[in-house]
Amino acid sequence: MDTDERRDAAPMAYDAHVPRQLWVEEPVARRRMADPVRTAAVRAVIIASLTMIQAMAAFLFTLTGAWLAFPLVLSSIVSTVAATWAVLDVWVTRQVWNQRHGVVSAPSSTARQLRRERRRARRTARAAGRETSHIRRHGTGSLSRA
């Protein structure tokens, strides 16, 4: 079937024109970062990118022998320390957020499984304790009468 025949052919059901949407929501695998953590992450990315630009400028000025090379190298070292601090700030902010607001545990969490096992053990211990006290109460009365 060549192009002219395809143009003249009647459209099939699967060929029907489906309008494309401008925006399609896709489910995400992970939850969105908390606002303070996201703010710290954006700050860290900006500082790290400016540090890399500054280091590249210092390198190029050093190659050309410009007088600005030495101050740029010194400030690049300071900027590297600041960028490292910013990345650590993201990590600390995330840890603080998790401690204050709690982490949503998955159903297969190890901690949840251990709690279930402890709860089950307590129930069986209580049930066994009730059984023994029930036997003792009823058992001593029947033995004393006999």
Return the percentage of the chain with pLDDT > 90, whole number. 47
pLDDT band at 130 (very low <50, low <70, confident <90, very high): confident
pLDDT band at 101 (very low <50, low <70, confident <90, very high): confident
> What local confidence, expressed as pLDDT, does residue 133 receive?
76
Q: What CA–CA distance (Å, rounded) separates 3 from 5?
A: 6
Q: At 123, which amino acid appears?
A: R
> What local confidence, expressed as pLDDT, does residue 113 receive?
79
Q: Find the mean pLDDT for residues 65-75.
A: 94
pTM over 0.85: no
Q: What is the pLDDT of residues 53-67, one digit of tens each?
A: 999 999 999 999 999
Q: What CA–CA distance (Å, rounded) separates 44 from 51?
A: 10
Higher pLDDT, 35 or 140: 35
Q: What CA–CA distance (Å, rounded) separates 93 from 4?
A: 64
Q: Find the mean pLDDT for residues 68-92.
A: 96
Return mean pLDDT, the chain.
82
Helix axes 69-101, 35-64, angle to 10 degrees: 170
Record the tokens describing residue 137, joined without a space: 């109460």
pLDDT band at 70 (very low <50, low <70, confident <90, very high): very high
The CA–CA distances, whole Å, from 57 to 60, 69, 78, 141 equal 5, 8, 15, 95
Q: What is the pLDDT of residues 2-49, one digit of tens each?
A: 666 655 655 555 556 767 778 887 777 777 888 999 999 999 999 999
Q: What CA–CA distance (Å, rounded) separates 142 from 22?
A: 83
Q: What CA–CA distance (Å, rounded) separates 7 from 138?
A: 94
